Structure 1
């Protein structure tokens, strides 16, 4: 397909972001809706080009594409459209801004991911598989290259329902002299290898292989010969993960090894059972951690759902673990490893001397700085913003010395330091820091780069905290336009920018407009993220706030009660967010003259807060 070609009179191909044996993946613009999308072009290959084969392939493609398009879950890449153009089959999907797990490992020089990341990825993938298996869809080709972690930490599975087309199209590896068609050897279940019955438990085995690799840095059977890998899956018991990764909690070691059982009947029964085991392991590990960290009196005693971890009001930089640098001359990634933007080397890469990995050399320092950066992020996620700010400030100074002031890694650290300032009561300093980062990112990365937009978002947040509502409104209005243009109207970051816009309309007393904005954002978030997602609940609360300011207290009470019930159900009655919602409800009751009910609710909130903090009268 030629550059800038218009497919079906609608999808404008802009640039290739991946290429492989089956065809290409393009970043494209949906001219009808004005949003950016990914278009995967699949070209049938091999000797079987007779009309009957191609007709069967087209029908199979349409059937599989419909299956994929019907899957609606936060953990699955959205398929928007599919069709055929001049003999080339194509899929139109959401354009993901992130890195697949294989790329994350490459960025980290194939070192294992942090334990917290492994656990979070395991929980999100399990939830996605539970949903798809419930729809009677089996992936069949789950592997790190098909799993993308986007900038907000959400993990998404790609190629659902399409992987089975690989054999028909001809994109299959073959063992030497055997003629056995196969998928990706490192992640195949024994029943796939032996041509046995493949069901949802085969996906669980592949998930075990993925988790083994991100937890240890290598797949369970990491040998050079493809046949030896398959024999390993069929006959060899994998080494315990803790033999390679001593800091991995024992419960997770057992879970992964059970997923890798040779007999499907010896694996977890289904993804729901696996999810329960992961939840039990998290509780057990949290309990041990609490015992070790008795000094942290502010740590919450209740567990948040896995998808709430690391959520912030604004987007951090492009990845939780920023890439170091790609070695010069690295080959272009294969098609199925290139679903995402941002897959290339960093702009402004460090000088050639930084590739020397001897002790004391720059690359060792870069690796250490990346680890410290990750520590700062974890401190922030735990609410320890003052400590996080100190870490990011120190890392920023060292990165500037080593890489230069305009290097993306330096800017990432300066941005995170600025965010920490805003969350420790210094919005003026945060504003100055983030304005500087936004200006440099716009100059070096482009005005519409995700990192630039993230910095602009934090500028808006800081202006809001300083009470400069009119300026904040302008920032958020421009940000909404930019994110809609680049990422689409329903992207979660676009919706966060719209939330900021609505909040500042309220700050300026424009409550009718604020109510309209809050309702639209709440409806969109519920559709994209689910009714009980924290962002959805924040927007539903904003609807109640606007109703209150407009004097519509009866409607506001109903909204406040719904949010409080949802937070209590998801987070627990004593969680700070649930308690805050109950206080909102009590204040609304006061406004309606229902003083006795309000007093009872205030007493309940006070009692729960005392119980949570361990205080007894």
Structure 2
């Protein structure tokens, strides 16, 4: 076969687009109808194969044609024709405009596909399998290479070459009894490996293997040796997908593990049941969202309370890896800064630069700048970051003029100016500013100086804020090695770096590693600082968070409760960190299905936050949002809708109409309207959210696409199927383009 070959005077081969063990697939043109098709040709066999072997292969090929031609479903590749030409068997199929899942993974460097795409593929393949199984056909070789995702988002199953017709078991046994490998090791069910009879549940097992791979980037038994893979399928329980990728929805993790059950009777009974479970899980995720956890908080001061130990004064609250970051203890504003610049000793890694000769600025000018620097720090402690940034930039410019650009005091002001940029949402600008300070401190002070390590650690934190977790991991690892070498493993700054490294591991999709490291840091901080020190409790809070990402909600709940109780004793019941831990307890209760308890907790939390922070504080509104979500979970949708509308109105006024929290509230309003059957009103809300997200985040951002999915679902409920299908296709195309 070659370019230009004409088969049966009708199908002209144009370009080979695939090659397998027994055949080739060509892009071709149907000269009679003027359309593009795909032609699969069985390779001619040499004389080394005996006639019985050849006969089996030919029968297998004809069998694929008959099986495939009998299927009429949008999720199954259409077969137009088949026959034999000059001793070559051929099969003519529709030409698919898309990529098979194996190619998608390769193009994505074997990174997992986006979660919405995994769910969409699962749902479509389940529908196609339900149809084929109802026709009495089992595929028996389901794998990523045999599932194609088209550019319009539709998914099709291909290659029924070893499919089994339910009424023809004996003939299939003769086909598979020839020693020909039937199936692919990475995706074969235990009963298929053992040579037992297979039914539709074997295809479900193979689908579980496929979903595992596209959801995590690796198959469930990622081994090089084929025999080891087969033994793994037969004897070894797979690791839960969420151990490889924490953001996978819990329901999807559970479905995949159920599909991979060793015994067929432990799997879903059929593909229809599987499809219902996927739809139900997606509906819960889409329409009854969990309250988002507040992972970033601005530093705050709490004073005047006798309950606070002395070491809490001046501390900042919130998650160390996302709140205070890796800053060292701020200098005492009253002490001022040194006006003396002592370069690092010559020979310390690189020659120190010779400072530029400048007129002595005088002690009064140095003291005045130190006082202004302290004022900037005080503004920051009060959360007035914009004003603090203006002060630090002005002081930095003046210090540079009087002391020089590389003077430690100048660099200290530049450092603080960068810090204010990070706290006002300008992470990219902050990173550039930190980089300049780091370069100067390395040049002047050396790579292992505490100030150099502090700014490099802050760079790592900012990289994480920008979503560059791999880069952040590299910097944290380097800084940690230096801190351990210079300061020792138990120094508070070393432990802070290890804490941030643990947090970043979680963001890299390694919750198991993050959990283990956070536990180690919590134990070390308890030993060095005490079990009730805020830093110890912050790390225990992180331990609880990683437990939740591992779906170990009961353990997370117990840990959050212990942290909340310890914070209440040490910091007081109204301290923001105490209230934050109580909020996480509510999330855990909800996730455990204990919505009645969660509702009671949120009612108390709303009252306490209102008293401590005011009725319109963002965290008060977040607690009210959680209250509304749990009202919905308990089926009290009229109350849930009223609560969502009130919170939405306040957020719109306080935070602005386009703030992410405001949009979340609009979506919750739509959820309530939908559950109450008021789909026309729900459509207005969903469109408002999707349009705002498209304007702010772009048309292909995951949150925008989720909003458009909500809109399409609503259109379906209103009976506007054509509009829904068109919108689903647009969303699928954008997702496909993003994945590519």
TM-score, structure 2 as length reference: 0.40
TM-score, structure 1 as length reference: 0.47
Which one has the largest radius of gyration?
A: 2
